[in-house]
């Protein structure tokens, strides 16, 4: 295929293609939205409870509590655990800002820890060194769709009596030693942001737990701290998953497994196509993990030049994430310095996420890899 050579080439391979996912579901999704409109019940209704039950059953936990976003799911989980000023929460520094934002918003202190360079997830040995008497929770992020080193983290959490709160925003459907992501800690936080593996038609999130007392608190906190109308037992917030979002997500949920399998097939093809390219390292998947490839993140030489080269030829790519959280202005007051968490800083310089979505066809992938090849051949 001939592609344009000018700087702002039209996109021929996008990072993701939500329209391709919507097309075959169009009638079903529009009917589900219409049914909510006919019911005129928009908040805390039957669609939301049905979705909570369906996701809890799929993951294998007792309770699920819908809320307004993945970021709020993290905040609600920490609120339900009673975390606030004076408390410390361990977070990876290489993640989306929301992971640590929730900690900071509650007045607690995010303690940033480096990543394992092979998996991009929390380095459990570094976590063991970072815990203190003030550590109340550890938030492993299953980055890009790969579960963190949960067995080691669970042991550390038990030893210091901290809660393990999974940030599962990128990993619904992933598995660790045969168990579903979302059922590996005391609580797990999901995001239904439209680009996630299970994405809604707007913002949405959910907290999963096996603990009935936590589930009850979560249910109260998301609804102004009340169990009965106008009786407020604790100071809560307004963070609910609306019925239109729940109805759309219920159409998509039965397809998630199939979509995740398609993502795995795309990833396998990338591995094959990239196998002999010395300048590119493909993601490593430990044998105990089942990846769901929210992203296909390569590590590569001359990353920014490669990205520019791809962009000029109509191929999208993205850097998740270019600045580790310990170096973000929002967390400058915590006093971290460049060089302090070197694996995350190296990943931020080298990582590049290639187009990946269930409907991505082989010829387009071949174009992506051919273009990468041309870059390193000194095109
Ligand atoms: C998307 C995401 C979130 C936040 O989810 P929102 O629904 O966008 O608020 C949190 N953590 C990670 C790792 C994410 O990818």
Chain segment 51-79, per-residue pLDDT in tens:
999 999 999 999 999 999 999 999 999 99
Q: Is 95 in the pocket of ligand 1 (CB under 6 A)?
A: yes
CA Rg value for the chain: 21
What's the gap between Cα 68 and its chain centre? 15
Q: What is the predicted pLDDT for the residue at 266? A: 98
Residue-by-residue DSSP string for 38-94 = HHT--BS-HHHHHHHHHHHHHHT-SEEEEES-HHHHHHHHHHHTT--TT-EEEEESS
How many other C-beta atoms lie within 10 A of the C-beta of residue 194?
Answer: 15
Residue 289 has pLDDT above 90, yes or no: yes
Q: What is the pLDDT of residues 159-183, one digit of tens each?
A: 999 999 999 999 999 999 999 999 9
pLDDT (tens digit per residue) in 86-101 = 999 999 999 999 999 9
Please identify which residue in the block is written with the tokens 């030489």: 301
Work out the average pLDDT over 282-294: 97
Asked whether the predicted pLDDT for residue 3 surpasses 70, the reply is no
**Contact residues for 94 (Cβ-Cβ < 8 A; gap 6+):** 114, 115, 120, 143, 321, 324, 325, 343, 344, 347, 348
Per CATH, the number for 255-377 is 3.90.1150.10
Size (the chain), residues: 379
The average pLDDT across 298-315 equals 97
Instruction: Encode pLDDT of 236-269 as tens digits.
Output: 999 999 999 999 999 999 999 999 999 999 999 9
Pocket test for ligand 1, best of 67, 92, 96 (most atoms within 8 A of CB): 96
Q: What are the boundaries of each domain within the chain?
A: 22-253, 255-377
pLDDT for residue 378: 77
Query: What crossing angle do the helices spanning 70-80 and 212-221 adopt, rounded to 10°?
Result: 120
22-253: what fold? Answer: 3.40.640
Say how far apart CA 174 and CA 287 lie, in whole Å. 13
Ligand 1 pocket test: which of 93, 191, 240, 318 has the largest number of ligand atoms within 8 Å of its C-beta?
191
pLDDT for 232 beyond 70:
yes
Distance 117 CA to ligand 1 centre (A): 21
Cα 199 to middle of ligand 1, angstroms: 11
pLDDT at 11: 82
Summarize pLDDT for 206-228 with one digit per residue, the tens: 999 999 999 999 999 999 988 88
Predicted confidence band of residue 229 (pLDDT cuts 50, 70, 90): confident
pLDDT at 1: 44
Q: What is the mean pLDDT of the chain?
A: 96
Nearest in space to 143 (alpha carbons), one of 297, 15, 267? 297
Question: What pLDDT is stored for residue 7 in this prediction?
Answer: 56
The fraction of the chain above a pLDDT of 70, given in percent, is 98
What is the pairing mode between strands 109-113 and 88-92? parallel
| For the CA of 72, the nearest atom of ligand 1 | 9
In sign, the C-alpha dihedral spanning 297, 299, 305, 309 is negative
pLDDT at 36: 98
pLDDT in tens, 140-158: 999 999 999 999 999 999 9
Give the pLDDT score at 168: 98
pLDDT of 194 over the 70 cut? yes
Percentage of residues in the chain having pLDDT higher than 90? 94
CA distance 118 to 96: 19
Confidence at residue 37, expressed as pLDDT on a 0 to 100 scale? 98
Rounded to whole angstroms, how far apart are CA atoms 322 and 347? 8
* Strand order, beta sheet including 63-67: 63-67, 205-209, 187-191, 163-167, 135-138, 88-92, 109-113
Residue 116 structure tokens: 């394992």
| 168: its two tokens | 């599962």
Distance 141 CA to ligand 1 centre (A): 10
- 307-320 average pLDDT score: 97
Against a cut of 0.75, is the pTM above it? yes
pLDDT at 231: 81
What letters, b where the CB count within 10 A reaches 16 and e where it falls short, cover 8-39?
A: eeeebbbbbbeeebeeeeeeebeebbeebeee
Ligand 1 centre to CA of 99 (Å) is 7
Q: Report which DSSP code applies to 115.
A: B
Please say if the pLDDT value at position 379 is more than 70.
Answer: no
């Amino acid at each position: 295929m001939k592609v344009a050579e000018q700087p702002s080439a039209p996109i021929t391979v996008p990072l993701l293609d939500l329209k391709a996912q919507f097309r075959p579901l169009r009638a079903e999704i529009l009917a589900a939205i219409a049914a909510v409109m006919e019911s005129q019940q928009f908040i805390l209704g039957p669609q939301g409870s049905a979705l909570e039950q369906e996701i809890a059953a799929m993951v294998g936990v007792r309770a699920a509590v819908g809320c307004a976003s993945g970021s709020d799911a993290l905040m609600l989980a920490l609120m339900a655990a009673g975390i606030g000023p004076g408390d410390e929460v361990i977070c990876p520094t290489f993640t989306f800002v929301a992971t640590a934002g929730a900690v900071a918003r509650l007045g607690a202190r995010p303690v940033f820890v480096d990543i394992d360079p092979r998996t991009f997830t929390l380095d459990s040995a570094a976590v063991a060194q970072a815990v203190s008497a003030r550590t109340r929770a550890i938030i492993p992020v299953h980055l890009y769709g790969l579960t963190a080193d949960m067995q080691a983290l669970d042991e550390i959490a038990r030893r210091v009596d901290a809660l393990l709160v999974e940030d599962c925003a990128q990993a619904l459907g992933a598995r660790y030693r045969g168990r579903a992501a979302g059922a590996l800690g005391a609580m797990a936080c999901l995001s239904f942001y439209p680009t996630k593996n299970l994405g809604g038609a707007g913002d949405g999130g959910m907290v999963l737990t096996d603990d009935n007392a936590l589930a009850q608190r979560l249910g109260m906190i998301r609804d102004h701290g009340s169990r009965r109308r106008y009786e407020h037992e604790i100071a809560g917030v307004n963070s609910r998953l609306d019925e239109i979002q729940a109805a759309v997500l219920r159409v998509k949920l039965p397809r998630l497994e199939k979509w995740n399998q398609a993502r795995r097939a795309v990833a396998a093809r990338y591995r094959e196509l990239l196998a002999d390219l010395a300048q590119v390292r493909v993601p490593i998947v430990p044998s105990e993990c089942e990846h769901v490839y929210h992203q296909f993140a390569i590590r590569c030489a001359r990353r920014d030049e490669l990205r520019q080269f791809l962009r000029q030829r109509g191929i999208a790519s993205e850097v998740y994430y270019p600045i580790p959280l310990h170096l973000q202005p929002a967390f400058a007051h915590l006093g971290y310095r460049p060089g302090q968490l070197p694996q995350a800083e190296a990943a931020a310089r080298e990582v590049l996420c290639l187009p990946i979505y269930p409907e991505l066809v082989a010829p387009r992938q071949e174009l992506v890899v051919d273009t990468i090849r041309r870059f390193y051949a000194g095109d």
